[in-house]
Amino acid sequence: MTAAANTKTTATTTYHDDLEIVRQELDKCMKCGNCMAVCPVYSIDKVESAVTRSKIAVADAVLTGELSLDDPQVYHMVFNCLVCKSCMTNCPTKVNFDRIVLALRAALVRKNGLPWLKKMIFSTLKHPKLFDTGMKVGAAMQGLVFRTDKTKKAISPRSPFASLGEGFGFDADRQMPELTVTPLRDRVPDVIKVDKPALKVSFFTGDSLNYFYPDAGQDLIEVLTANNIEVHIPKDQSCCGVPVLVHGDIDTVRTLARNNIDAFDKTGSDYLITGCGSCGGAWKHDYVELLAADPVYGLKAKHWAERTYDISTFLTKVISFRKPMGEVRSVVTYHDSCHLKKSMKVFAEPREILKSIPGVTFKEMSAPDTCCGSGGSYVVSHYETASGIGKRKAEDINKTGADTVSVGCPACMMQLLDNINRFGNAQKTRHYISLLAESYRKEKGK
Amino acid sequence: MLDRSIIEKLEALVGKENVLTSKMDLVAYSYDATADVPRQAPDVVVLPTTSEMVQEIVNLARANKIAIYPRGSGTNLSGGTIPLKKGIVLSMQRMNKILDVDAANLTAVVQPGVVIAALNSAVAPFGLIYPPDPGTVTTASMGGSCAENSGGLRGLKYGVTKNYIMGLEVVLANGEKVRFGGKTVKNVTAYDFSNLFVGSEGTLGIITEITAKLIPAPKYRRSMMGIFKTLQDAGNAVAGIIAAQVIPATLEIMDQMTIRTVEDFANIGLPTDAKALLLIEVDGMSQDVVTAEAEAVMNVVKTNNGDLHTADTDQERDQLWTARRNALPALASLNNTVVLEDATVPRSRITDMLVACENIGKKYNLTLGTFGHAGDGNLHPTILCDKYNKEEISRVHKAVDEIFEAALGFGGTLSGEHGIGIAKMKYLGNELGQSGLNLMRSMKEALDPEYLLNPGKMVPLKEV
Ligand SMILES: Cc1cc2nc3c(=O)[nH]c(=O)nc-3n(C[C@H](O)[C@H](O)[C@H](O)COP(=O)(O)OP(=O)(O)OC[C@H]3O[C@@H](n4cnc5c(N)ncnc54)[C@H](O)[C@@H]3O)c2cc1C
Ligand code: SF4
Ligand code: SF4
């Protein structure tokens, strides 16, 4: 049986399926307000409904029937959150707020279904081939709507579209990464062999590295092979599902999870490597949680969760990566992506890698782990708040005097690209793995 | 529900985006950090951005007899911001500008919505600090902490909020704006209005601007922990430190229940068989003085049978304070409801009060841990209970009654820092007597005859 065929079969025992299950999480909140200090949405909106504890109070009111999920304000509140988990790291009683907000979103979708646009996009995600074709068509057509800044590989809306998009942040200044004509997985073979490999790993590319930052994806592969690692890139992998998960479409994310597990089971590799905090978090935590009640895939999800590593952790903790020798003259600062730091607890490793590169001067920005405001589609649905948050990030980056801001998550790279364009000093935004790859390349005088 | 026309007038005054009426928003303003107080949603939430707007809102409210509840960050622990009688919640969250930092005069002028920690970040480049640091320093507002007269970990040496407020701008219930005090170090003009409004919990006027005193940041510090086998030894050590003429910046105590819970929660290697811990920090401008003070403290700890643990690096210091920071969260994680009290006694009676709390906990069969600011006698007996268990909650109420009875019996007070609000109104007569209550009422009625400002807090509503 294919994964797609058994979408709705599993028992309904997670908070994704039953809002009641989060009640005990709600009770943990003592309304102390510590979350206010770190919630990026509150820092801009300055209203209680933006603060975690209020979202908890509203969830409580929904459970007691005082408020209804159909209330448009409740709907708005439930989606006015980046699911960045900053509040969770500052919460004295360890309320797992991500569960609360995801449970609410899933309950909303169960009750009212998905809005048509989301439904359309998410259903194509379930059919990776169709989605892939769509992205390629999009890449071919983007020139009609967008103009390209060749040096940055960035695109901005052309004038008629720019004036339509004003107010939604799709104005003429809005920079987005170019959608690639040849995605990563079309650029490389399924298996990239090396002589006498030390290890065999599988690379989960995720959509962003595949379609938006394929060069960074190639850099990641190059770094692995430079460390004598054989790399498998299963062609039939699909989106990790996090963008869908955060919109409450649990059926689709379960389908994607099973698809991906099938694709990686076939490789039989020792490790699963990611280059994106969201993808890594999906494999390490979300799949296990979502498939807990599935007798077959539940176990498989656990198997992979134990073998999933962000590329930086893999390089520093699993193998001892070869110290790079080529000089990369650059002043670099590092932005801690929420999903990497707060979900995967990865923060020391990328810094260790950056500091190992000859020529790199590392400058820490103040509060490097405050959210950049991306939150996947949050930046589209709440452009104003997101760009308030992004502006602050850009200012922190400016203060370091760095010429490059390095990140470990493509979604943050997109947000930083736009905000540096608006508020920054023309700094480059690069995945830390690209800097390492560049150093390895320079060794060979390339 | 308020008349639509009033909402429209409010929208005209402050802009539509600063008036919230949806049921969801009202739920969001129906509580504060206080456990076990009634929840109530207001009719409307208004977020002014200037003091002129505040005046206009007050005028509109007075004309229509609508109650107003000033609100900062809603972190108070006495129910002070609950809109008991419905009406307008006046949120200061968007009046959050730092207007002036004057290093030459050691002052800063801020709007009430500025968060305490934000003020500290703004003055840090000048080598200055604003010392009052309640546990909520990263979230509480300057307005809220003025209105609560908050204290904090540094209260023993550096005092509490009232010692740092040099001037205020206040909008009164009659809509007039008054300003008093300012940047001068000395100011004895007229009544001491700053001290009247600081600690008035939003019942006498709305604070719209604050002139705060800053001090140079101490340059050196030493932290240590004293570990004691009996509560008496710990209490005597507190008295001994003061008798040795050392005023530590911080002098905190944790009882055994708290120690064990923190250790379970955070695994930081605390001695779980100790009956009490003292966490002590001395600081100052000169290395020699700080060293001498630290040595004096260590001697006192030893002569009172305490084991010593000192922090020699910043990292060790952080570890030490982690224990204190974890006290409340650790206790709170034991059950779904935390009743955090604030009974305060003269510091010579600390031991008596600790013993009394322990006994009260036993008597009512409650999970009760006590920690707090030993140096200033300000203890936080903390009861962990289940809000769904009515019978237990009634035992909690009896225990709280006895805690305050004990504190007053030792010559103490109802509140060292959390204020009266709704939570402790009923005990007020026990401390102030009838003449005190009469004075409270006269003050309230002189300034707010119609009980428009934060009604039902501190001064009971008039029975009609
Ligand atoms: C975990 C925790 C730890 C705490 N630790 C401490 C501590 O160590 N020391 C301490 O003193 N307190 C402590 N508190 C209590 C509380 O944080 C402080 O009293 C804080 O200063 C309140 O600030 P706020 O901005 O949240 O005020 P709010 O809670 O919003 O308001 C408090 C009172 O002030 C009034 N008010 C607010 N703004 C204004 C204004 N502009 N004009 C007039 N009245 C106004 C309100 O009506 C209310 O009565 C703690 C609370 C928690 C939850
Ligand atoms: S920090 Fe945690 S316990 Fe405190 S109010 Fe926020 S969610 Fe609740
Ligand atoms: S997850 Fe992030 S945005 Fe959402 S409430 Fe928590 S801190 Fe705020």
Residue A162 lies in a domain: no
Q: Which of A290, A318, A346 is the last residue of a domain?
A: A318
What is the spatial distance between Cα A396 and Cα A108, in angstroms, rounded to a whole number?
A: 37
pLDDT of residue A167: 59
Residues B17 and B71 in one domain: yes
Residues A356 and A301 in one domain: no
Residues B71 and B104 in one domain: no
Count of domains observed in chain A: 3
Residues B228 and B295 in one domain: yes
Q: How confident is the model at residue B204 (pLDDT cuts 50, 70, 90)?
A: very high
Q: Residue A364, class by beta-carbon neighbours within 10 Å (0-12 exposed, 13-18 middle, 19+ buried)?
A: exposed
Mean local confidence (pLDDT), B392-409: 96
Joined tokens for residue A183: 């995605």
For residue B120, give Cα distances in angstroms to A29, A38, B140, B142: 28, 17, 12, 11
Mean local confidence (pLDDT), A78-100: 93
CATH code of B424's domain: 3.30.70.2740
Residue A137, SS3?
A: helix
Residue A198 vs residue B56, higher pLDDT: B56
Residue A215 lies in a domain: yes
Give the DSSP H/E element, type plus range, for residue B98.
strand B98-102
Ligand 1 centroid to Cα of residue B246, in Å, is 30
Q: Which residues contact B10 (CB under 8 A, 6 or more apart)?
A: B19, B44, B46, B57, B60, B88
DSSP string, B267-295: -----TT-SEEEEEEEEES-HHHHHHHHH
Q: Which of B116, B136, B194, B378 has most ligand 1 atoms within 8 Å of its beta carbon, as the pocket-test mutant? A: B136
Mean local confidence (pLDDT), A202-227: 93
Q: How confident is the model at residue A208 (pLDDT cuts 50, 70, 90)?
A: confident
Residue A304 lies in a domain: yes
Q: Which of A32, A51, A57 sits opposite B27 (nearest CB)?
A: A57
- Strands (E) across A57-145 are located at none
Count of domains observed in chain B: 4
Residue ranges making up the domain that contains A422: 330-443
Residues B57 and B114 in one domain: no
Question: Which chain A residues contact residue B33 at CB under 8 A?
Answer: 30-33
Residue B74 vs residue A140, higher pLDDT: B74
CATH code of A385's domain: 3.40.50.1860
Residue B80 lies in a domain: yes
What is the spatial distance between Cα B229 and Cα B219, in angstroms, rounded to a whole number?
A: 34
Judge: B328–A46 Cβ closer than 8 Å, yes or no. Answer: no
Q: Which of A342, A92, A28 is nearest to B138 (CA)?
A: A92
Q: Does A7 score more than 60 pLDDT?
A: no
Which residue intervals of B136-191 are DSSP H helices? 142-148, 155-158
Ligand 1 centroid to Cα of residue B134, in Å, is 9
Judge: A48–B139 Cβ closer than 8 Å, yes or no. Answer: no
Q: Which of A318, A346, A381 is the last residue of a domain?
A: A318
pLDDT tens digits, A116-159: 777 777 777 777 777 777 777 777 777 766 777 777 677 777 66
pLDDT of residue A25: 92
CATH code of A269's domain: 1.20.1050
Residues A337 and A298 in one domain: no
Ligand 3 centroid to Cα of residue A50, in Å, is 8
Question: Which chain A residues contact residue B45 at CB under 8 A?
Answer: 47-48
Q: Which of B25, B117, B337 sits opposite A49 (nearest CB)?
A: B25
Residues A296 and A367 in one domain: no
Residues B405 and B360 in one domain: yes
Mean local confidence (pLDDT), B253-262: 92
Residues A99 and A53 in one domain: yes
Q: Which of A233, A232, A294 is nearest to A258 (CA)?
A: A294
Residue B463 lies in a domain: no
Could you tell me if B75 lies within 8 Å of chain A, comparing CB atoms? yes
Q: What percent of chain B has pLDDT over 90?
A: 83
Residues B311 and B346 in one domain: no
Residues A314 and A188 in one domain: yes
The residues that bridge with B373 in the sheet, in sequence order, are B378
For residue A233, give Cα distances in angstroms to A269, A340, A385, A407, B345: 11, 22, 37, 22, 69
Give the DSSP H/E element, type plus range, for residue A252.
helix A250-265
Judge: B24–A28 Cβ closer than 8 Å, yes or no. Answer: no
Mean local confidence (pLDDT), B52-61: 98
Give the DSSP H/E element, type plus range, for residue B260.
helix B256-266
Residue B378 lies in a domain: yes
Which residue intervals of B48-109 are DSSP H helices? 51-63
pLDDT tens digits, A16-65: 888 988 998 999 999 999 999 999 999 999 999 999 999 999 999 999 99
Mean local confidence (pLDDT), A233-259: 91
Q: Does B74 score more than 70 pLDDT?
A: yes
Q: Which of A27, A66, A94 sits opposite B336 (nearest CB)?
A: A27
Could you tell me if A30 lies within 8 Å of chain B, comparing CB atoms? yes
Global ipTM: 0.93
Judge: A37–B22 Cβ closer than 8 Å, yes or no. Answer: no
Quick count: other Cβ atoms within 10 Å of Cβ B118? Answer: 18
pLDDT of residue B347: 86
Q: Which of B91, B115, B142 is the last residue of a domain?
A: B91
Whether B83 and B66 have beta carbons less than 8 Å apart is answered as no
Residues B242 and B212 in one domain: no
Nearest CA-CA distance, residue A65 and chain B, Å: 12
Q: How confident is the model at residue A207 (pLDDT cuts 50, 70, 90)?
A: confident
Residue A158 lies in a domain: no
Question: Which chain A residues contact residue B336 at CB under 8 A?
Answer: 27-28
Q: Which of B31, B57, B91 is the last residue of a domain?
A: B91
pLDDT of residue A164: 62
Mark residue A346 as left, alpha or beta (left: phi above 0; alpha: psi -120 to 50; beta: remaining): beta
pLDDT of residue B312: 87
Residues A313 and A188 in one domain: yes
Residues B144 and B224 in one domain: no
Q: Which residues contact B132 (CB under 8 A, 6 or more apart)?
A: B116, B145, B150, B151, B152, B154, B155, B158, B159, B160, B161, B163, B164
pLDDT of residue B291: 96
pLDDT of residue A5: 40
Residue B73 lies in a domain: yes
Residue B462 lies in a domain: no
Whether B212 and B120 have beta carbons less than 8 Å apart is answered as no
Residue ranges making up the domain that contains B163: 98-216
> Which segment of A115-124, A352-361, B354-363, B393-402 scores lowest on mean pLDDT?
A115-124
Q: How far is CA B347 from the centre of its chain?
A: 19
Residues B232 and B314 in one domain: yes
CATH code of B51's domain: 3.30.43.10
pLDDT of residue A6: 43
**Average model confidence (pLDDT) across chain A:** 88
For residue A100, give Cα distances in angstroms to A23, A426, B397: 9, 39, 31
Q: In this structure, which residue's CA is closest to atom 7 in ligand 1? A: B134
Residue B417 lies in a domain: yes
Residue B99, SS3?
A: strand
Residues B110 and B156 in one domain: yes
Residue A176 lies in a domain: no
pLDDT of residue A3: 42
Mean local confidence (pLDDT), A275-292: 94
Residues A308 and A383 in one domain: no
Whether B361 and B238 have beta carbons less than 8 Å apart is answered as no
What is the spatial distance between Cα B318 and Cα B298, in angstroms, rounded to a whole number?
A: 19
pLDDT tens digits, A163-196: 666 656 667 777 778 777 788 888 999 999 999 8
Could you tell me if B33 lies within 8 Å of chain A, comparing CB atoms? yes
Residue A284 lies in a domain: yes
3-state DSSP helix/strand/coil % of chain A, to nearest 5: 55, 10, 35
Mean local confidence (pLDDT), B237-259: 93
Q: Which of B44, B251, B75, B58 is nearest to B170 (CA)?
A: B58
Residue B464 lies in a domain: no
Mean local confidence (pLDDT), B388-393: 94
Q: What's the predicted TM-score (pTM) here?
A: 0.91
Q: Does A346 score more than 50 pLDDT?
A: yes
Residue B458 lies in a domain: no
Could you tell me if B117 lies within 8 Å of chain A, comparing CB atoms? yes
For the CA of B80, the nearest atom of ligand 1: 49
Q: Does A9 score more than 50 pLDDT?
A: no
Residues A194 and A310 in one domain: yes
A78, closest residue in chain B (CA to CA): B24
Q: How confident is the model at residue B464 (pLDDT cuts 50, 70, 90)?
A: low
Q: What percent of chain A has pLDDT over 90?
A: 63
pLDDT tens digits, A352-399: 999 999 999 999 999 999 999 887 778 778 888 988 999 999 999 999
pLDDT of residue A312: 97
